[in-house]
Structure 1
Amino acid sequence: MTTSPPALDGRLLERLRGSVRGEIVEPGDPDYDDARKVYNAMHDKRPALVVRAVDSGDVIATVDFAREQGLTLAVRGGSHSVPGHGTCDDGVVLDLGRMRGVRIDPDTRTAWVEGGCTWADVNHATHAFGLATTGGIVSTTGVGGLTTGGGMGHLARRCGLVCDNLASADLVTADGSFLTCTDEQNSDLLWAVRGGGGNFGVVTSFAYRLHPVADVLGGPTFFPLDADVMRGYRELIAEGDERLGALLVVGLGPPLPFLPERWHGRPLCGVVTCWTGPEDEDDRIRDRVAGLGPVLGRMVERMPYPAINTLFDDLVPAGLFHYWKGAFTQGLPDGAVDALVEYGATTPSIQSVTVVFPIDGACHRVGPQDTAFSYRDADFSVALSPTLTTREDCEAHKSWVRAFQQALAPHAMEGAYVNFMDSDDQDRVQANYRGNLARLTELKRRYDPGNLFHLNHNIAP
């Protein structure tokens, strides 16, 4: 049974209609069910209104409307928020998905990117100039959530986190102000946007620093699920060539043509290579990765950088059911390796891939207080998720990931990456922001004292 959203103030709603160039979708409209969908099917909310914004004016009008009506406001970019922060019941969803413009200046190596873009949009535009910046490993991920959470990806060791490459941001704050945030103006807000989540406003555009990256040596190499392989991976990262991005993945063998069929659906681990160094060293990199253990199958080839960010796309399309947890580790302790092997052996589905992201190298050359993202002493970030095709199966396997997280905890740091937190992790805000929380809280009081932007891992004013 569904309930109808509350009645809206007709006068204010008409004013909103006159102020918005984009589309306003209400319950009963033919495309309402499509407009309210988000990536994680665990969240089946019924907002009173979905505003499909096309420009910053639409964003300002929608923020003003939600504030004046006292309505919950959900801000949606790529809609990948695992806790479902891009939707709500009975409130207003501000959907940025039609704000997809990208402009490149190859001379200054800068990309101006609207807030509704996905990383596929960014990678496509920058690749034409032989440039790239750190972005997500699933191409449909939105730039907004990834950037404001900190942002990890294949290029992090060489280029830093996504937020480290953020040069400026245009932000609509809770009072409807439009502020350009740089290191020279509104620098406090730029600091907060670099890892503080969506707590401070709606980012309508980002400016990213770009790096000369065109083609890469990329792709997965699969091994048996074995602690020695993981310890070898740990050494591979510790050797320190920052041009080598290498994700450790743990899960069940996917049905890929280069992996023997007998390994499909069986527990294994793998390394996803992204080498941005010279092509004449490709064979050395292939051999170094293959030397981690018995190779079950691999596809490590030269490819355009945008292609490597699509390798997980078919595995995790929109509409699956997710529940996530995360951890930071210093090094990859033997106890953490043991937990990866133990729980990897009982991975509940092919889509439930545990990913270990290296965040050393360039990430460590930024101080813990230089951005809101404080875990500059972490070497790895671990993403844990049961991802299933039905709600019932996902609910049934929540205990698996909670036990997995508890097994990692003695070998992990206190907090974890905010974008790997689910809706029941709000009590970890202090641990996730550590010494930066006091400054973030003060900025929240200044710019959003009414906590209009509370659908996030909330920093309460």
Structure 2
Amino acid sequence: MTTTNAPTTNAPTTNAPTTELALDTLRGTVRGDVVVRGDPSYEEARRVYNALHDRHPAVVVRAVDAGDVIAGVLFARDNGLPLAVRGGSHAVAGYGTVDDGLVVDLSRMRSVRVDPVTRTARADGGCTWGDFDHATHAFGLATTGGVVSTTGIAGLTLGGGMGNLARRYGLSCDNLVQADVVTAEGALLTCDAERHPDLFWALRGGGGNFGVVTSLVYRLHPVSDILGGAVFYPLDAEVARRWRDMNADAPEELNTILVIALGPEMPFLPERWHGRPICGLMTCFSGPATEDEKMLGLLDELGPVVGRFVERMPYPVINTLFDEQLPPGLYHYWKGSFSRDLSDGAIDVHMRYGETMPSMESDTAIFPIDGACHRVGPEDTAFAYRDASFSAAFGTSHTDPADNEANIAWTRAYDRDLRPHTEEAGYINFMDTDDQSRVRTNYRQNYDRLRTVKRRYDPGNLFRLNHNIAP
């Protein structure tokens, strides 16, 4: 199965020759590693999380600081090479790699510095949410982050950032207070509400269109232990409807993500449910322990519980529970949608495709994006769909490339059947390479403003391997 890169609008479509002399010059300006074909570490350096994107870059710059990032960006620009930027490497669309181009890999830039007085944390652009949660938890603090600990902080935040604290504290991008960005000109800019505010606005939901984010500063909140885990029910539309109704009235401290999948082989789920279609709730209650029993009662009312693992745990643990089921090297193809309400028609579509879920690794996850997410205006950040209450991620993840064609066709059919029941757009972090035609719709009223910012900071569209906003 072949995949396509993002369009190369307003950018060179051929690569200038990368000579050994030029590479030697690059090596002389980079403190990290410059990896090219034939090097012992090339195979490892070229791989990304999603094995569907099996590409062969000409050069991988494994940066250790912002100076290395600047060197990589300028080398790609000056040599006419397509430029990919890689943080945690989780981009489902494979934008962290590129054939015959240059990859700036930030995965060695992973320090986090917490200021418990101001309740902020500065983190390097290559950090994962596991890195971040570990550092902030030592101070009893947290912010909204990814639900898989190996996800990169930068990519998730630039796209918006849904997670287990979103109803209470907003999206990841709502908690971003500052960022350092390497632009197409090789400048390192610090942007926040006062410095380069247009760029700061665009970063909060506008994706990787504007530069390489080398560090991010987040607002933190007092979260230490939470009531968390998973509850499983039979696959039943009534469970989903009851969850929808419960979510509308639940306290914002209770964040639950509805999952439709095949029953995982876990000790708290009876063997007879392994591999059978189920509904599950990923649960995170960040309120007081005295309310735990009440929250468990709400979950028990949704339907017959066939398996449950929910207990008090350190907040970082909730974001690791399914890491082992989603290791690097699987083949992923996803779609996404926004909806103002989870209609009965949408639930029926989700149930129908839940019955034919093609692999143990595949699932549908429906995230609530209400509560604090709705207290940010639709034009306050680039994340445009503040009137949506749910965001669905659905598609296939599997181990055998021979299944690619069938599983991609299944996901596309699912997307087609769901669209009459959802908004026209979806969350960019759930979109694949063939969703470029939806970019304008995904940004809605903010698209023209984003294009203006793009024109200012990247008029040549060097940063085009993303859900691209062409200048």
TM-score calculated relative to the size of structure 1? 0.98
More displaced stretch, 232-241 vs 151-160 = 232-241
Is the partner of 2:388 in helix, strand or coil? coil
Counterpart check, 1:356 vs 2:352:
no
In structure 2, the residue matched to 1:105 is 115
CA distance in 2, matches of 1:395, 1:296: 33
On the 8 A contact 1:9/1:69 being kept in 2, the answer is no
In structure 1, the residue matched to 2:467 is 457
Q: Where in structure 2 are the equivalents of 1:8-407 lying within 5 Å? A: 8-407=18-417
CA shift digits 1:283-336 (9 cap, x unpaired): 111111011000101001001000000012011100000001000111211111
Is the partner of 1:300 in helix, strand or coil? strand
One-letter code aligned to 1:353 = D
CA distance 1:187–1:6, change in 2 (3 Å): closer
CA shift digits 1:333-360 (9 cap, x unpaired): 1111111111111000111011000000
CA drift at 1:7: 4.2
CA drift at 1:410: 1.1
On the 8 A contact 2:29/2:68 being kept in 1, the answer is yes
CA shift digits 1:107-127 (9 cap, x unpaired): 100010000000000000000
In structure 1, the residue matched to 2:5 is none
CA shift digits 1:405-453 (9 cap, x unpaired): 1221111011100000000000001110001000111111111111000
On the 8 A contact 1:82/1:324 being kept in 2, the answer is yes
The percentage of aligned residue pairs carrying the same residue is 63
On the 8 A contact 1:160/1:361 being kept in 2, the answer is yes
CA drift at 1:269: 0.4
Count of residues in Structure 1 that have an aligned counterpart in Structure 2: 457
CA shift digits 1:104-154 (9 cap, x unpaired): 000100010000000000000000000000000000000111010000001
CA distance in 1, matches of 2:274, 2:29: 54
CA shift digits 1:159-189 (9 cap, x unpaired): 1000000000000000101100010110100
CA shift digits 1:176-209 (9 cap, x unpaired): 0110001011010000000000000000000000
Counterpart check, 1:417 vs 2:427:
yes
One-letter code aligned to 1:32 = Y
CA drift at 1:15: 2.2
Is the partner of 1:62 in helix, strand or coil? helix
Is the partner of 2:324 in helix, strand or coil? coil
One-letter code aligned to 2:306 = L
One-letter code aligned to 2:179 = A
On the 8 A contact 2:17/2:79 being kept in 1, the answer is no
CA drift at 1:367: 0.5
Is the partner of 2:452 in helix, strand or coil? helix
One-letter code aligned to 1:225 = L
Q: Superposition RMSD on alpha carbons, in Å?
A: 0.9
Structure 2 unaligned segments of length 5 or more: list them. 1-14
CA shift digits 1:237-282 (9 cap, x unpaired): 1004100010000010000111110100000101111000100111
In structure 2, the residue matched to 1:437 is 447
CA drift at 1:10: 3.7
One-letter code aligned to 1:46 = H
CA distance in 1, matches of 2:425, 2:238: 27
In structure 1, the residue matched to 2:11 is none
Structure 1 unaligned segments of length 5 or more: list them. none
Is the partner of 2:189 in helix, strand or coil? strand
Is the partner of 1:354 in helix, strand or coil? strand
CA drift at 1:390: 1.3
CA distance in 2, matches of 1:352, 1:447: 38
On the 8 A contact 2:230/2:310 being kept in 1, the answer is yes
Is the partner of 2:379 in helix, strand or coil? coil
On the 8 A contact 2:129/2:146 being kept in 1, the answer is yes
